[in-house]
Amino acid sequence: MRPHRRFIAAGCLIIVLLVFWLIAGTSADAEESRGQSSPVPSQTPAVAVPSPSSFSESPAAPDPAPATDNAPALESSAPEPAKPEDRQKPGVAALALLETLPIKGRAPKTGYDRDEIGQAWADVDRNGCDTRNDILARDLSALSFRSNESCRVISGVLQDPYSGRTVEFTRGQETSALVPVDHVVALSDAWQKGAQQLTLEQRTLLANDPLNLLATTQRMNSQKSDGDAATWLPQNKSFRCAYVSRQISVKAAYSLWVTMAEHDAMERILADCPDEAAADSTLVEEPLAPAEPRAAKAPAAEEPARMPAPAADKAAPGAAPSPAPARSVNCSDFDTHAAAQTWFEYYHPMMGDIGGLDADGDLLACVSLP
């Protein structure tokens, strides 16, 4: 019986060993399977296997890049030439500066000639460019210059301060004159209000001072002629404060005076903008002292010391225009705007708008007439 038991025991041992071997093999396979498969879920997003949603969102990511790329392009675009600006008088209002100007009658125009004012468009600031091109470069936008030159303006766009209209400028024999440069204080007006007592060099500065110059249109320049604030104001009403302030600043810099009618007109305009600042000339540090008057001019220089009656403000241009002053005068009494304006300019300084020709207070009479 003992050998049989030994056989049975050996068989049981073999069976037990087989069971352990099978169990161990299964566990090892399971561990190996887990060891190979566990990294896959965590690595799948890192691998470039995009889901459908990632395809739809991917274009949004580059959006910041174009915005960043475009910014330098805008900044690197060629800027327009620097334009000189008037130096503002700190804390000095034009209305206050107006009260410092002498009020005198208009002196005779005797002896006035353009040559008496000095060289036209002289390079007084010594920058190598003549004054007209300096002003065009300052007042126009979208500028182009002659090849290899930094002075001569060939074309540009003017936002006309007097009319408010946009005008294209092109240099040419027939087109250059369409954009003239206006003397804010007309040279003839300046001559009759103190400039004849300045030296030739001082008058040359006056005629070429950027403070006294503005690019405008031929039509506005012709309408203004040598008028002062009592007889002409810009059609663009929003510019009138700046215009009058500029005239006051010029007259203060060059020791010029104003007539009573002119003073009152300036005061009336500035009443709507009492904080409008005056400006300094870039050519004149302090107001110019008038030169000693020439012997022939002595009587004229002494006469304004007396306060004249308003009637003496405006020299009568020959015979008084018809019709005679009357409350019944109206625009129907004139054929053209020019005729009405002549009548208005003659009587207005003495009597005001007795005919009611200036409906909107812009000192332009019967603008509805041809």
Q: What is the pLDDT, as a whole number, of residue 357?
A: 77
Q: Peptide bond before 102: cis, by omega within 30 degrees of 0?
A: no
Report which residue type is found at 143.
Answer: L
- What pLDDT, on a 0 to 100 scale, did the predictor assign at position 193? 97
Residue 273's CB: how many other CB atoms inside 10 A?
16
* Residue 66: per-residue pLDDT: 36
Residue 321: which residues within 8 A CB-CB, separation 6 or more? Answer: 339, 342, 343, 346
More confident residue, 46 or 192: 192
Mean of pLDDT values over 157-179: 96
pLDDT, tens digit (0-9, with 9 covering 90-100), for 296-336: 434 444 444 434 433 333 333 445 677 776 555 778 788 77
Model pLDDT for residues 206-248, shown as the tens digit of each residue: 999 999 999 999 999 999 999 999 999 999 999 999 999 999 9
Confidence tier at 74 by pLDDT (50, 70, 90):
very low
Query: What is the reported pLDDT for 349?
Result: 66
Q: What local confidence, expressed as pLDDT, does residue 335 receive?
A: 78
CA distances from 172 to 120, 155, 214 (A): 19, 10, 20
Q: What pLDDT was estimated at residue 362?
A: 56
Does the pLDDT of residue 6 top 70, yes or no?
no
pLDDT tens by residue, 33-51 = 444 444 433 443 433 333 3
**Distances, alpha carbon 110 to alpha carbons 107, 116, 139, 294, 332, in Å:** 9, 12, 34, 13, 36
pLDDT score recorded for residue 340: 78
Domain ranges within the chain, ordered by starting residue = 109-247, 321-370
Length of the chain: 370
